Amino acid sequence: MVLVEVTRRRQILVGLPALLIGAGATAACDAPRPGLVPERGPRGPRRSARTATVDRDPVGALDDVDPAVRWAFAEDGFAPLPEAGPGDWLHAHAESPQSFATFTIEGPNRPTAERRTLLVARLGWGDAARASATSTTPTMDEIVAYLGAFFTLPVATIDVQLDRAALEPRTQDGREQLRTTAILDALEPQVPDHAYAMLAVTPDDLYPGPEWNFVFGMARLHRRVGVFSLARYGEGDAAVQRGLAVLSHEAGHMFGISHCVHYACLMNGFNSREELDRTPMHLCRVCLRKLHAVVGFDPGTRYRAVRERLVAAGVREEVAWIEGRLAGVRG
């Protein structure tokens, strides 16, 4: 799901085959990352030997990592990426692996003392008619609390008004949709200086381009914006779980993390609600190391904070995974 856009407007929809899954399914999307590394000045990136090394070990050497937290990036406890079946994301989209070294070279956005708030922008949130027509879970309180635990940055909310007519509304399957790319274009100039990044959440259904039937969300890797929709999650605890998964997946993209092809991982692309339900809510060791390199945190403290939110949301399977992870750690 989830369309990732690569920086500098190297648009991601390019070359995407039309991806329309059969009845009832939901096609979502994503963005292949064609060239991977953005230009970095006249001499360009140096990738040769280093890149070759990381491709064999995408998490990279851990010599520079504090010995007290290395356990979090060790191999144990992470499931392999399942084989993609027909209709699954990787069946339809080729993804270029983003190793930890590649991630570093690409230059993720890094928080500073002045720029470290993760902003959640309510978009169309006050429109009761539209909101009541869709799922209303997770709640804004759950969204804020989960983002804070997962990304370990301060989280705040903001209301954003955009000209709806400029968001390329269209009607699909009887419901109105807004175009993600138009939303992100409109959001970019509105990101406040103090925001690390701004993630819009909307009750509206979304589409990224004419060839798609819908998308759960979309984010730009290096431009501090993302958007996700609450329209497609159903009801009850499962809806909360799906919403939190998509929320954290999209936010993960804003930290520079591309789709993961290394393990079963929150950052795997997903193409349908069924595939979303099979996707873990945790980051694999490669993606966790990326997040750790950007924000820094104690992995045990972070796992406990996320577990607390998941217990509150009734997401049992993921709580069990975290407890297994913590049980293997001393202290």
Active site residues: 250
CB nearer to Zn ion: give 158 or 264. 264
**Which tokens go with 71?**
């356990």
Q: How far is the CB of 281 from Zn ion (least distance, A)?
A: 12
Q: Helix %, strand %, coil % for the chain, to 5?
A: 35, 15, 50
Q: How far is the CB of 30 from Zn ion (least distance, A)?
A: 5
Q: Which amino acid is at 62?
A: L
CB nearer to Zn ion: give 27 or 260. 260
CB nearer to Zn ion: give 46 or 286. 286
- Pairing assessment for the beta strands 195-202 and 117-123 based on DSSP bridges: parallel
Q: How far is the CB of 301 from Zn ion (least distance, A)?
A: 21
Which residues contact residue 227 at a Cβ distance below 8 angstroms, ignoring those fewer than 6 apart? Answer: 123, 180, 183, 184, 187, 199, 200, 201, 202, 206, 217, 218, 219, 250
Query: Which of these, 133, 234, 240, lies nearest to 176 by C-alpha position?
Result: 133
CB nearer to Zn ion: give 265 or 281. 265
Q: How far is the CB of 113 from Zn ion (least distance, A)?
A: 29
- Pairing assessment for the beta strands 3-5 and 217-220 based on DSSP bridges: parallel
Which residues contact residue 177 at a Cβ distance below 8 angstroms, ignoring those fewer than 6 apart? Answer: 169, 170, 171, 204, 205, 206, 207, 214
Contacting positions for Zn ion (CB under 5 A)? 2, 4, 260, 265, 267, 284, 286-287
